[in-house]
Structure 1
Amino acid sequence: MYRLNVLYNQPTDPAAFDEYYFNTHIPLARKIPGLRHVSISKTEGLDGSTPDIYLVTTLDFDSKEAFGAGLGSPEGKATAADVPNFATGGVTMLGAELVTEDFN
């Protein structure tokens, strides 16, 4: 499995970010061919402070090849092109081969 980890920094207007992200951006992303799963997490500082990262999204694909094909598709390109429309705090994207161990 191949995973795209997207780390969104604190936006200038969190309410506007959330509105756009959940109602416009995520519906675009869900159309990317080969996308198997999306996980979205809002962060919080363990000490009560505001972390630099506001939101973390993971997008899972069957393989690195499926990831490349998905992001290279018209839907993937449209989703990538949409990021500057709402990510006012900046964003970091990291691709990763998923390595897990079953702890159950």
Structure 2
Amino acid sequence: MGCKVVVCYGHPEDPEAFEAHYRSIHMPLARRVPGLSDYTWGKCRALDGGSPAYHSIASLCFPDAETMHAGLASAEMREAGRDVRNFATGGVTMFTLEEESVQEQVGEV
């Protein structure tokens, strides 16, 4: 089981400016957060072809809760957090997530 900080970005006023800033400035800042085991980002698409609730979602992955909490308290995370206001004009929703694989449980009753 791993832990994640999930960041859901609302639809920005200028998607091109958002993505340029995110890729060139924010990603390098977030990559420096200590303890990361993975960092993913992707743009959302609705299954029905409509407008999804979010523009994009990032996941900062940690091997365990202790490492995640240390990463959250780091100077690097504070710096990345301060940068969010520079590009996230559509708002942001953040939460933590402790994951478990349910695929391994297929067939178990």
* TM-score bracket for this pair, using the shorter chain length: over 0.9
Aligned to 2:6: 5
Match of 2:42 in 1: 41
Greater alpha carbon shift after TM alignment, 45-54 vs 23-32:
45-54
- Once the two structures are overlaid, the 10-residue window that deviates more, 15-24 or 64-73, is 64-73
2:31 matched to which residue of 1? 30
Q: Secondary structure of the residue that 2:93 maps to in structure 1?
A: strand
Distance 2:25 2:4 in 1: 22
- TM-score when scaled to structure 2? 0.89
Q: Distance in 2 between matches of 1:46 and 1:101?
A: 22
**What aligned pairs does 1:68-79 form with structure 2 within 5 A after superposition?**
68-79=69-80
Aligned to 1:63: 64
- Higher-Rg member (1/2): 2
Number of residue-to-residue matches in the alignment:
104
Shift of 1:102: 3.6
What amino acid does structure 2 have at the position aligned with 1:51?
P
Percent sequence identity is 39
Residue 101 (structure 1) shift: 2.8
Quote how far apart the aligned CAs of 1:72 are.
0.9
Q: Deviations over 1:20-42 (max 9, x none)?
A: 00110010000000011011111
Gaps of 5+ in 1: none
* TM-score of the two chains, using structure 1 as the length reference: 0.93
Distance across 2 between alignment mates of 1:20 and 1:77 = 17
Unaligned runs of 5+ in 2: none
Aligned residue type for 1:42: K
Q: How far 1:94 moved relative to its partner?
A: 1.2
Q: For 1:83-98, what aligned pairs fall within 5 Å after superposition? A: 83-98=84-99
Specify whether residues 89 and 34 from structure 1 end up closer, same or farther in structure 2 by C-alpha distance, changes over 3 A only: same
> Structure 1 residues 39-48 or 6-15, which shifts more?
39-48
Question: What code does the residue aligned with 1:39 have?
Answer: T
